[in-house]
């Protein structure tokens, strides 16, 4: 039986890694020779979840191997966020919770995109729909993904489905939701050992917004000022990315997980679009505080897309 790889987007976050593991597990139990993979390094938050539930990180790939013909995408569908040779393989399924953009296949496929806060919420339903029991370990990974994407159920992307799934999965996983969630988020918020390049690449996604090319990197922290002590170095690596990738805008988003706000740093010719999108004034350092903004998907991408396309 030919192997199918299951993977999420580049610069993987907790939902990407945990959903790849969980869906490969489900597909295997349904008779598919499925294996999880990842397109980047595992961050501290995700590693905390993997260690807690005693799971190995998926195999790291830079492109789909020649002997693999079929792939399943989780937590993304935009080709620029996927593996480099994505157009050379057959996409058999997509399980996602983001917008659909820059996506085309030659053959029909199973495409499931739901307006929930996390891919793991969809996968939890799919286990039930297929009559497959969610083990303690898989429940823990799915729960970790929901906590991460919803900032412990506080993000505006969080739906009642996410809340219900989180409580259900916490019970199966045998953890106290609030305590485990805060411990995991704080593990991920420790950025003390990260270089400026790592900070702007550890969770970065590229988007097409009209004719513009935009990259948005986001990190979670409990002290944004500490991160911005490196602003000069951050600007240097951001400017290099703008030049090398031909970006119109690079937006670095530092999200305070305790106060649910974000302070952003903008670089590139499209800096003024940030002011237009969020009705804020960038200071002399090209930074602005976005009160109540924590979601890249629902609050940042949508507002910037409107600004670039109006």
Show Cβ contacts of residue 123 under 8 Å, excluding neighbours closer than 6 positions. 19, 22, 23, 26, 74, 95, 142
- The mean pLDDT value for 190-217 works out to 94
pLDDT for position 132: 98
Distance of alpha carbon 284 from alpha carbon 36, whole angstroms: 45
Task: Tell me the per-residue pLDDT of 48-100, one tens digit each, with 9 for 90 and over.
Answer: 999 999 999 999 999 999 999 999 999 999 999 999 999 999 999 999 999 99
pLDDT for position 53: 98
The tokens describing 95, both together, are 């399980």
Residue 142: DSSP 8-state:
H
Residue 80: DSSP 8-state:
G
pLDDT for position 149: 96
pLDDT for position 237: 97
pLDDT band at 146 (very low <50, low <70, confident <90, very high): very high
- The mean pLDDT value for 274-293 works out to 94
pLDDT for position 222: 86
The pLDDT of residue 297 is above 80: yes
Residues 273, 277, 281, 286, CA torsion sign: negative
Question: 1 or 252: which carries more pLDDT confidence?
Answer: 252
Show Cβ contacts of residue 229 under 8 Å, excluding neighbours closer than 6 positions. none
pLDDT for position 258: 85
CB-CB contact of 278 with 287 (8 Å): no
Distance of alpha carbon 22 from alpha carbon 190, whole angstroms: 26
Secondary structure (3-state) at 87: helix
The pLDDT of residue 193 is above 90: no
pLDDT band at 1 (very low <50, low <70, confident <90, very high): confident
The tokens describing 168, both together, are 């259900």
pLDDT band at 249 (very low <50, low <70, confident <90, very high): very high
The pLDDT of residue 181 is above 90: yes
Percent of the chain with pLDDT over 70: 100
Task: Tell me the per-residue pLDDT of 212-244, one tens digit each, with 9 for 90 and over.
Answer: 999 999 999 988 999 999 999 999 999 999 999
Measured between alpha carbons, how far is residue 15 from residues 151, 229, 268, 308 in Å? Answer: 12, 29, 29, 28
- The mean pLDDT value for 115-130 works out to 98
The pLDDT of residue 3 is above 80: yes
Please return the burial class of 51, using the count of CB atoms within 10 Å of its CB with bins 0-12, 13-18 and 19+: exposed
Q: Where are the alpha helices (DSSP H) in the chain?
A: 14-29, 44-52, 119-129, 136-150, 160-173, 177-188, 196-201, 224-227, 231-245, 272-278, 302-309
Distance of alpha carbon 228 from alpha carbon 144, whole angstroms: 28
pLDDT for position 192: 85
Write down the mean pLDDT value for the chain.
Answer: 95
Secondary structure (3-state) at 251: strand
Measured between alpha carbons, how far is residue 41 from residues 10, 199, 202, 240, 289 in Å? Answer: 9, 13, 8, 21, 29
């Amino acid at each position: 039986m030919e192997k199918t790889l299951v993977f999420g987007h580049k610069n993987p976050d907790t939902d990407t890694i945990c959903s790849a593991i969980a869906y490969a597990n489900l597909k295997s139990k349904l008779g598919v020779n499925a294996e999880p993979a990842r397109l980047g390094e595992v961050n501290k938050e995700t590693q905390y979840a993997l260690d807690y539930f005693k799971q190995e990180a998926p195999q790291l790939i830079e492109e789909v191997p020649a002997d693999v013909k079929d792939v399943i995408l989780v937590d993304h569908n935009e080709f620029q966020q996927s593996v480099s040779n994505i157009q050379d393989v057959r996409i058999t399924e997509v399980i996602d919770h983001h917008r659909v953009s820059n996506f085309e296949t030659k053959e029909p496929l199973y495409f499931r995109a739901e307006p929930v806060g996390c891919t793991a919420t969809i996968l939890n339903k799919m286990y039930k729909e297929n009559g497959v029991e969610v083990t303690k370990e898989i429940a823990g990974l799915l729960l970790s993904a929901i906590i991460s994407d919803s900032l412990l159920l506080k993000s505006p992307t969080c739906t009642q489905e996410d809340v219900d799934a989180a409580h259900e999965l916490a019970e199966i996983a045998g953890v106290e939701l609030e305590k485990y969630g805060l411990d995991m988020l704080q593990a991920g918020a420790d950025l003390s050992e990260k270089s400026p390049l790592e900070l702007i690449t550890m969770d970065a996604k590229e988007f097409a917004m009209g004719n513009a090319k935009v990259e948005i990197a986001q990190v979670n922290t409990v002290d944004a000022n500490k991160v911005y002590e490196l602003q000069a170095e951050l600007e240097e690596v951001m400017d290099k990315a703008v030049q090398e990738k031909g970006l119109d805008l690079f937006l670095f988003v530092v999200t305070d997980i305790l106060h649910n706000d974000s302070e952003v740093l903008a670089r590139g010719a499209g800096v003024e679009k940030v002011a237009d999108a969020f009705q804020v004034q960038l200071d002399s350092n090209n930074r602005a505080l976005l009160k109540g903004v924590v979601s890249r998907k629902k609050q940042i991408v949508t507002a910037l897309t409107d600004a670039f396309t109006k």
